[in-house]
Structure 1
Amino acid sequence: MHNVHIKFLLGLAMLMTISAYGGGGGGDGSGGNTGSTTPSTSPSNAATSTVRLADIKIDPNNSLTSVYEVDINVPLPHLATSQVYISICDNSGGGIESINYDNCLLKAALQLGAGSYQLRVPNRCESLIAVVNVIEPNTSPLVYTLNHNNQPETIWLIQ
């Protein structure tokens, strides 16, 4: 039994070595070995270089954070008697038509036409869109946008 484990491990190590050297087919559709035993010269192997920490220059205004905070207050008292939902999403598509509601940062029901939320938003989201849906016939959604102002914290009043 012990010999079986050793043979398995040796076979696995050989397979990993062959894979590391680009063996097992040339990728040209032929499926055969090209006969080369030299390591693959992929861009990751050919272009490796060392960067020293002292060589990295960072703008003094860059806090190196990957998120920003948004405190959202929604006082809509005229909707207190209605069933109301809010979705806050990335507005990279430029409008309500391009929203993917499955990827929104927040989806919630307003209570008596009001809500308060705190979001941590990735820096890649330069603009947010809020869509307030009132569940009543012939009522269009209310749409609000916020552009990130490069501040670590923003207050967004939706009214």
Structure 2
Amino acid sequence: MKIQTTWLVVLSLNLIACGGGGDDGGSSNANPSPNSTTARSLNQLVIANDNNLSSTYQLTVDVQLTQLVGKEAYIVICEHSSDTIDYDKCFIKASLNGGIGIFELQLPNHQQSLIAEVTPMEANSRSLTFTWQYDNQAQSTWLIP
């Protein structure tokens, strides 16, 4: 019983010491100041007629590398955000047959720049690198000659 009484006294003192509070004499205003901007309704929202509110665009990549006719090659099409290619952020990883290939991509609007790297599958060959910039069109074609 003595332990229960001791705990009861300790908890009571703790509540008394930490609770209550009181006025610190400050004159802070508890009410926030009202926002001076007026809310707009959806009827007031103006959107240009040519804006379809789409968050993606289509890109056709047409690869026509005549210097690779009769050879096998590998292509990657990736984000172009730095000097190096991040192969984990590629949209296409595919083989080309004779340097020819067509790829359809649906990309997010924030994707502004792409890089393509074509690697011939033969000894001592050098990779070919191409870059592309988004032209703000809903449908675009990137020709890699």
Shorter-normalised TM range: 0.5 to 0.7
- CA shift digits 1:92-129 (9 cap, x unpaired): 22x3x1x2212211111001221011111111111111
Gaps of 5+ in 1: 1-33, 36-49
Determine the structure 1 residue equivalent to 2:93. 107
- Normalized per residue, the structure richer in strand is 2
Asked if 1:63 corresponds to 2:63, the answer is no
State which of 51, 62, 76 in structure 1 corresponds to 2:65.
76
Asked if the contact 2:71–2:97 (Cα under 8 Å) also holds between the matched residues in 1, the reply is no
Deviations 1:76-102 (A, max 9, x none): 132123220111111122x3x1x2212
Q: Which amino acid in the other structure matches residue 71 of structure 1? A: T
Q: TM-score scaled to structure 1, two decimals?
A: 0.61
Which secondary structure does the structure 2 equivalent of 1:125 belong to?
A: coil
- Aligned: 1:126 with 2:115: no
Specify every segment of 5 or more residues in structure 2 that has no aligned partner in the other structure, as ranges: 1-17, 20-38
Cα distance between partner residues in 2 of 1:102 and 1:73? 22
1:103 alignment partner AA: K
Match for residue 76 of structure 2?
A: 87
The answer on whether the counterparts of 1:92 and 1:126 sit within 8 Å (CA) in structure 2 is: no
Q: Which portions of structure 1, spanning 4 or more consecutive aligned residues, are displaced by more than 4 angstroms?
A: none
Q: Deviations over 1:28-78 (max 9, x none)?
A: xxxxxx99xxxxxxxxxxxxxx76322434344432111111111111132
Q: Which amino acid aligns with 2:58?
A: E
Which residue number corresponds to residue 26 of structure 1?
none
Q: Which amino acid in the other structure matches residue 56 of structure 1?
A: L
In structure 2, what residue type is equivalent to 1:87?
V
CA RMSD in angstroms comes to 2.3
State the TM-score, normalized to the length of structure 2. 0.66
* Residue identity opposite 1:125 in structure 2: Q
Q: After the TM superposition, which of the residue ranges 57-66 and 79-88 deviates more from structure 2?
A: 57-66
